[in-house]
């Protein structure tokens, strides 16, 4: 990945930060974007202190204008974007009948529309160069029903379908579009689901009353586990892989397709 330019959304924390670090360690110049300016700044400061080529740009991925502006700026100042990782995401928990309009719209705005805006802006610049790779981070919930997660699961399913359709359309331009579908991962999003601090234990054990299996490997993923899957799908090692979903959930969905 030496000399490549990677744009990573949601880089201010969790999986996005792990992806930014790993790609930079692999020699890529990473531009991380995130809505949370303070969190992004702290992440970039930490990674650059470790000697990694990472810069940050605060961006609202739900704004088409902001997305177009940042992609143009990155290409103008850093060079052609070789890799895009859509890792920004939000989770709103509630049973479907109790979701507010704002919950639903905000979830789709980030998890689906943001993927569309960013993918469109980057891929349209990759096409004339006839090269590039994109990975969208979705969820194993995109293909497995979860209680209180209808908005999140539906948005991730939509992002999955969009990324695969995009991959079909741009394959003739030598551009690959793949997906990574994590299960429970040790991130702030997971811990926010359990106010009693039992997020990891609850994820591993499962919840039969909610028709949720546990995790056969007996542990939740680390953000680095997901980042390694992303790196593989971006890399030349996956040169003949496109429109594929790589599930990283410790067996929680029992091998069901995502």
User: Which residues, in sequence order, are CB contacts of 82 under 8 Å at separation 6+?
Assistant: 4, 5, 6, 28, 131, 132, 133
Which DSSP symbol is given to 123? Answer: H
| Residues taking part in catalysis | 152
How far apart CA 68 and CA 71 sit, in angstroms, is 5
Which DSSP symbol is given to 148? Answer: T
For residues 122 and 81, the answer to whether their CB atoms sit within 8 Å is yes
How are strands ordered across the β-sheet holding 175-182?
54-58, 29-34, 5-9, 83-86, 132-137, 175-182, 245-248
């Amino acid at each position: 990945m030496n000399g490549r330019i990677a744009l990573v959304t949601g880089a201010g924390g969790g999986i996005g930060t792990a992806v930014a670090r790993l790609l930079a360690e692999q020699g890529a110049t990473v531009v991380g974007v995130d809505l949370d300016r303070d969190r992004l700044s702290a992440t970039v400061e930490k990674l650059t202190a470790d000697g990694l080529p990472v810069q940050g740009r605060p961006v609202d991925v739900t704004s088409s204008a902001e997305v177009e502006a940042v992609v143009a700026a990155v290409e103008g100042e850093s060079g052609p974007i070789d890799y895009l990782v859509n890792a920004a995401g939000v989770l709103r928990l509630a049973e479907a009948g109790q979701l507010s309009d704002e919950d639903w719209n905000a979830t789709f705005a980030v998890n689906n529309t943001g993927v569309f805006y960013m993918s469109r802006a980057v891929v349209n610049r990759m096409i004339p160069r006839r090269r590039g790779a994109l990975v969208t981070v979705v969820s194993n919930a995109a293909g497995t029903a979860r209680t209180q997660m209808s908005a999140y699961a539906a948005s991730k399913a939509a992002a999955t379908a969009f990324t695969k359709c995009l991959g079909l359309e741009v394959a003739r331009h030598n551009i690959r579009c793949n997906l990574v579908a994590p299960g429970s991962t040790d991130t702030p999003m997971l811990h926010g689901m359990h106010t009693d601090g039992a997020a990891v234990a609850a994820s591993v054990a499962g919840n039969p009353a909610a028709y949720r299996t546990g995790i056969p490997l007996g542990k939740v993923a680390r953000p680095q586990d997901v980042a390694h899957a992303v790196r593989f799908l971006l890399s030349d090692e996956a040169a003949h892989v496109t429109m594929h979903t790589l599930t990283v959930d410790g067996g929680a969905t029992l091998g069901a397709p995502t």
